[in-house]
Structure 1
Amino acid sequence: MTETPELKAPVPGRLSAIRFEPLTRSIGAELFGVNLGEVTRDDTLFAELKALLLEYKVLFLRDQDISRTEHVAFARRFGELEDHPVAGSAPDHPGLVRIYKDLDSPAEHYENAYHCDATWREKPPMGCVLRCVETPEVGGDTIWVNMVEAYAKLPDHIKTRIDGLLAKHSIEATFGAAMPTEQRHQLRKRFPDAEHPVVRIHPETEEKVLFVNGYTTHFVNFHTPENVRFGIDYAPGGSNLLNYLISQASIPEYQVRWRWTRDSVAIWDNRSTQHYAVQDYWPSVRKMERAGIIGDRPF
C-alpha cells in the first residue's frame, strides 16, 4: 500500500491552506486538494499558488477534470495568452496549443531537447499551464530544470566570462529547419532572431538565471580583444563555451521528472526553468494542451 505523503503546511505568513509536497531539493512541488477552476475564482488561493510557483518554479496537480474554457481562464490569471506560429491554437480557444503526438505526427522533434519555450520571441512566455489529455501507459514523462541553480553552481571563472554576454535565439534554425526554403525565410521575416542576455535577471525574484537553451545559436558580442587572440578563440571557442552552458540543463541534480496521468497539470515559470519532453512511448499516443502566457523582455 502506498503511504500518504507528509504534506507541508502553508509557509508562515501566508493565508491560504494549499497543501503541497516538494519533489526534489532543487525544483518542483505537487499540490493536493486544489481545483484550478476554484483557484481561478479565488484571489487568495491564486496568490498562494503564484507564490509557490515563484518558490518551486514548477507546480504539479493531478485529477484536474477541467474544461478547456477553465484551463484558459486559469492561465489568464497570470496574463494574456500567446498563439504559436507553427503549432497553432485550438479553434475555439485562442492561446491553447494542442501538442498531439502519435505515429502520424510530423517527424520533427522539438520537445525532446532541453529548452525554454519560445525564447526566439523578443518577449518569451512568462510561463505555461500544460494539461495531459491522453497519456501512454508507459513513458512520456517530462523533465524540468532549475536554471537559477544551474547558474549558481557555475564555476566563478565562467560566471565572470559570461557576464554581459548576449546571444541570439532562432525559430528559423529550429522550427524552420524542416520547412521549404521560402517558407523558412517567411518565418524568419515574421520572427527575426531575438537577442537576449546569457544571464537574465528574474523580474520578480531578482534571481540570476542561465538563459541559453536549444533555441540559442550563438553569442553576438563575444568577439572582443579580451576573448579572442586568434580566430580559433572565437570559432570554435565561443561555440564550445555556448555548448558547455547549454549542457548544464542535463545535470540531474537540477531536475525534477514528472510522470503524467490523464488530467494532470504542470504550471511552470518559463523565465527560470527549462524542460524536456521524453519521447519514449511509440507507438502509444501522447496528447497535451498548453496555454502559454505572454512575458516580458529579458534583461
Structure 2
Amino acid sequence: MDLTCTRLTPALGATVALPPGPLAVTDELGDRLHAALMEHLVLVLPAAGLTPGEMVALGETLGELGARHHSYVTHPDSEDVVVLTWGGDQKPDAAEWHADMTYRAEPPFASILQAVDVPRVGGDTLWASMYAVHDALDPGLRSDLEQLAAVHDMGAFRTPAYLDGGAEGITDAFVRAGTAVHPMIAHHPVTGRPYLNVSESFTRFVVGLSAPESARLLTYLFDLVNRPDFHVRLKWEPGTVAIWDNRGTQHYAVADYLPHRREMHRVAVVTDRRTPAPRPAEGLTAPV
C-alpha cells in the first residue's frame, strides 16, 4: 500500500492521499501511517468520513486505546470515541496551546480527530512542532532546560470542577485527572529527537526554581511556541480526519466560531505499538 504525502509547512504537517474506495483498516495501513507520522507529526486525511468503529479500528492499528478524558462524554457506539461539542454561549476549553493529557504520567501517544459538524467559517486547529521550537532555543538555554523538570496538572479544568463542586470539586478532579512531573526537554522514543515539553495549558511550575523564576521562564517558552514559523493550520470540512503525534507537537483549537456549533470525534491512542518497551536502567530491578 502506497500513501502519497504532501508537505503542508516546513515545520510539520502533511496531507495524505488514501487509495480510492472504502478505507481498509489493516496493520499495513497502520505501518504506513506510523512511518508518515514520524516524519510529518500531523497527518490530514481529507474526506475520510470514518464511522466510530472505523476510528477505533484505525487507532488500534497504532496502539492501545483507552486514555479517556476525565470530563468529556463518549459516543453511544463506543466508549473509546470522545465527543467534543461546543456552541451557543459555551466557551471551548481547547483554545490554549497543549499536548493532550500531560497531567498524566503517561500521556497518550497519538490522537485521531474527525470533524463531524463544523461552522462555515472559523473553528480551525493549529499544531506546533515542538522539535522546531526546541531547535530555535539558544544553545545555552537548551542545555539548562535539559537539567530541569516541570509540574503538569489539569489547568483550566479547575473552573468547571469548582462550579460543579466548590473547593472539594477541585480536589476530586485533581484525584481523577492526576498530576505529573516531566522533563522540560524530552526525547522522542522513535526518532530520538529532542523537543520542548511544556505547555501553557498544563505546565504549572518548574521544579527547583522560585515562583518568580519559574513564571518568567515558562512565559518566555510559551511565547516562543506562539511563533507562526513552527505552525500548521487546518480548516476543517465534515469528514476530515487528522492524526497527530502527541509527543512532538502541541495544538490549539481556535474558538472564533461561537455561537455556531462545532462537533468533533476523537480517539486517543495510549501506547505506540511500534516503539520498543523501555529497558530498565542499569542497576535497577525491572518490575515483575
* Alignment TM-score, normalising by the size of structure 1: 0.85
Residue 283 of structure 1 deviates from its aligned partner by: 2.1
Task: Give the Cα–Cα distance (whole angstroms) in 1 for the partners of residues 179 and 99 of structure 2.
Answer: 15
- Aligned residue for 1:138, secondary structure, equals coil
Indicate if the aligned counterparts of 1:141 and 1:260 stay in contact, CA closer than 8 A.
yes
Kindly indicate whether residue 6 of structure 2 is the aligned counterpart of residue 21 of structure 1.
Answer: yes
Q: Which residue identity lines up with residue 241 of structure 1 in the other structure?
A: L
Which residue in 2 is equivalent to 1:192? 178
- Aligned residue for 1:60, secondary structure, equals strand
Q: Which residue identity lines up with residue 260 of structure 2 in the other structure?
A: S
Task: Give the Cα–Cα distance (whole angstroms) in 1 for the partners of residues 7 and 31 of structure 2.
Answer: 18
Using a 3 Å threshold, how does the CA distance of structure 1 residues 151 and 39 change in structure 2: closer, same or farther?
A: farther
Kindly indicate whether residue 259 of structure 2 is the aligned counterpart of residue 246 of structure 1.
Answer: no
Task: Give the Cα–Cα distance (whole angstroms) in 2 for the partners of residues 72 and 188 of structure 1.
Answer: 28
Which residue in 1 is equivalent to 2:60? 76
Residue 61 of structure 1 deviates from its aligned partner by: 1.0
Task: Give the Cα–Cα distance (whole angstroms) in 2 for the partners of residues 291 and 236 of structure 1.
Answer: 38
Kindly indicate whether residue 200 of structure 2 is the aligned counterpart of residue 217 of structure 1.
Answer: no
Residue 260 of structure 1 deviates from its aligned partner by: 0.3
Q: Which residue identity lines up with residue 215 of structure 2 in the other structure?
A: S
Indicate if the aligned counterparts of 1:35 and 1:64 stay in contact, CA closer than 8 A.
no
Given candidates 176, 187, 210, the residue that maps to 2:158 is 176
Using a 3 Å threshold, how does the CA distance of structure 1 residues 191 and 36 change in structure 2: closer, same or farther?
A: farther
Which residue in 2 is equivalent to 1:256? 232
- Aligned residue for 2:25, secondary structure, equals helix
- Aligned residue for 1:149, secondary structure, equals helix
Which residue in 1 is equivalent to 2:282? none
Sequence identity (%): 33
Using a 3 Å threshold, how does the CA distance of structure 1 residues 278 and 104 change in structure 2: closer, same or farther?
A: same
Task: Give the Cα–Cα distance (whole angstroms) in 1 for the partners of residues 111 and 22 of structure 2.
Answer: 16
Deviation by residue 1:170-222 (Cα, 9 ceiling, x = unmatched):
11x32123322111111112333211110111111111010000200001133
- Aligned residue for 2:79, secondary structure, equals strand
Indicate if the aligned counterparts of 1:39 and 1:46 stay in contact, CA closer than 8 A.
no
The number of equivalent residue pairs is: 268
* Alignment TM-score, normalising by the size of structure 2: 0.88
Deviation by residue 1:67-119 (Cα, 9 ceiling, x = unmatched):
111111111111222211101322331121111111153x4x42111111100
Which residue in 1 is equivalent to 2:77? 92
5 Å-filtered alignment, 1:1-299, equals: 16-34=1-19, 38-41=23-26, 43-81=27-65, 82-103=67-88, 105=90, 107=91, 109-171=92-154, 173-179=155-161, 180-213=166-199, 214-222=201-209, 234-295=210-271
- Tell me which moved more, 263-272 or 152-161: 152-161
